Amino acid sequence: MGTIAAVILGIIQGLTEFLPISSSAHLILVPWFFGWDHEGLTFDVALHLGTAFAVLAYFWKDWCLLVREFWIGLKSRNPPGSAHGRLAWFIIIGTLPAAVIGLVFEDIVENRLRSPIVTVFTLVAFGVLLFWADRKGRKGREIEEYSWSDCLWIGFSQAVALIPGVSRSGITMTTALFRHSSRTSAARFSFLLSTPIIVGAGVLKAWRLFGESGSGPTGTAPVEWTVLIAGTLSAAITGFLCIRYFLRCIRSSSFTPFVLYRILLAGVVLAFYMMGN
């Protein structure tokens, strides 16, 4: 994979990580369509790290406030503390299911679920689920009104996003909508909740990469740092802009265009797959 291809995939990652259309599906499908060699989950996580920079940059004021209130709550021996302190705990608790399940099932996801047919099914099924949630939810609750049960439901749903085609942002927003959250609060909580997972996965993979030399201890190919850096930077810039305009868009628009896109993409994938077999 060359630098230009990495930049293209970085742009795709920046757009799709925060839109409910599945970044993992696109990172599998685009190289498959164009015949590019897939760089594996290491390159995927490098792109995810770029979008982690994007979400940290966009919500940096929120994160400073969350960290401060979390620390104040610990010092005062009243851990939930303020509303922002409670939100920080919601993010911590909501992150645990995806973190644990991701570590346990990483090999299965990488070796058995990265299939176009799996992606076709998940794109359609979870797109329909998003459409239903957007219609069914009352959208009367803001992020300040979230409860412990909300964070657990949304946190466990984030673990499902390990399957390609589900979409981390899509499934967490879907669950929040089923819990009667407003669209904007669903998106904001989804983005905040995704940050520890994205950063943690990036740190874990980076630690493994720094242990590799030559062909690596497990026989993997040498890491092409120029490719990884190009993809990360393009994902970060595109992701920041995507967050900004997506939050503006859903204030007055439904998720229906994204649902239709998922179904259309699934049809295209199925058609290509059948022609190739």
The pTM is what?
A: 0.87
Residue 75 has pLDDT above 80, yes or no: yes
Q: Give the model confidence (pLDDT) of 92-144 as tens digits.
A: 999 999 888 887 877 777 667 777 888 899 999 999 999 999 999 989 999 99
Nearest CA among 29, 23, 25, 31 for reference residue 6: 31
Quote the mean pLDDT of the chain: 86
pLDDT grade for 53, boundaries at 50, 70 and 90: very high
The predicted pLDDT at position 109 comes to 72
Rounded Cα–Cα distance for residues 87 and 84 (Å)? 5
Mean pLDDT of 233-252: 95
The predicted pLDDT at position 212 comes to 52
Report CA Rg, the chain: 19
Give 216 or 32, the one with higher predicted confidence. 32
Mean pLDDT of 170-192: 96
Rounded Cα–Cα distance for residues 103 and 81 (Å)? 31
Q: Which of 33-37, 46-50, 145-149 has the highest mean pLDDT?
A: 145-149
Contact (Cβ atoms closer than 8 angstroms) between residue 273 and residue 117: yes
Long-range contacts made by residues 55-63, C-beta under 8 angstroms, separation at least 24? 55/18, 55/191, 55/192, 55/194, 55/195, 55/198, 55/239, 55/243, 56/195, 56/199, 57/236, 57/240, 58/191, 58/240, 58/243, 58/244, 59/191, 59/192, 59/195, 62/192, 63/192, 63/195
As beta bridge partners, residue 181 has 141
The predicted pLDDT at position 78 comes to 77
Supply 27's token pair. 């990172």
Mean pLDDT of 77-83: 79
Q: Give the model confidence (pLDDT) of 196-214 as tens digits.
A: 988 887 777 777 666 554 4
Residue 216 has pLDDT above 60, yes or no: no
The predicted pLDDT at position 191 comes to 95
Backbone angles phi, psi at 255, to 5 degrees: -90, 5
Nearest CA among 51, 43, 45, 70 for reference residue 11: 51
Domain boundaries, the chain: 3-276
